[in-house]
Amino acid sequence: MNVFQRNNFCGGYPGQFGEGMGFFQQFGFPPEVKFFFPGGSHNGGHSSLEENSILLRGIHETRLINRIYGFYDDLNKRFGTPRLYEDFTKMFEMMPLTGLVGKRILCMHGGLSADLVNAPKLDILNTFARPLHDPPNPSLAIDILWADPDINTKGFKANIRGCSCTFGPDVVAQTCDKFGLDLIVRAHQVVQDGYEFFANRRLVTLFSAPHYCGQFDNAAAVMQVNPNMVCSFKILRPEFPGRAAPSHQKSATTILLPPTIT
């Protein structure tokens, strides 16, 4: 588990390099402004190789997903050899799976795990040996990469993805209370407004690829955390010529930790 102090948090935007550059143009460029990505920032787009970000490991930083969703083929096409793919894989296997901000915000790509809830201390997240190959199912690591929140789940249930689990609001509350957390930040799912709260605003899903893969009309969101641990969300919406924005769309939102809408 790495401890981060970052200004801007983005969800996954697999391979959408133009959108990544748009974030930098709007919010500032590193190193003057800091960005943090909870995994899933390559693969699946036309510009999967140009990313230069601070990353946690997500499902797209695994060998299996990279062979399926284009990263392996992209590297072979550009460089004519699988050797660079193997080097990337070795790098991914050394990446952290979770980050802790100010001891109050826990970040990962996927979600929570029964192994974490039952652990005596949050330090269990520091026990992963490196290199960490694609983790087995079930395991703590696979849940961190793949688990999903589900309002209709109590405790944990099998995930319809066929991998890992879903977890309910009760699990989020139990995890936050046990480890003194205010907020859990994760990516892994497309959400319409770029961010979506769960479990009485104690978990938020971030997604930062607007108009994802050219198939969705979703917005993107960036979460900003200031030195006083005040979180705000900036929404970037795709523009569709001739189409008016729905009146119910969210505008920018600010929350205080412990989470309270202001």
- Catalytic residue list: 60
Helix residue ranges, H only, the chain: 17-27, 63-68, 71-79, 83-92, 114-117, 140-146, 169-179
DSSP state for residue 94 in the 8-state scheme: T
Measured CA to CA, the distance from residue 234 to residue 224 in angstroms comes to 8
Beta-bridge mates of residue 3: 100
Q: CB–CB of 192/166 below 8 Å?
A: no
Kindly list the distances between the CA atom of residue 102 and the CA atoms of 57, 118, 252, in Å, as whole numbers in the listed order: 20, 23, 23
3-state secondary structure of 258: coil
Count Cβ neighbours within 10 Å for each residue of 63-92 and write b for 16 or more, e otherwise: bebbeebbbbebbeeeeeeeeebeebbeeb
Three-state SS string across 79-90, please? HCCCHHHHHHHH
Measured CA to CA, the distance from residue 232 to residue 234 in angstroms comes to 7
Count Cβ neighbours within 10 Å for each residue of 174-188 and write b for 16 or more, e otherwise: ebbeebebbbbbbbb
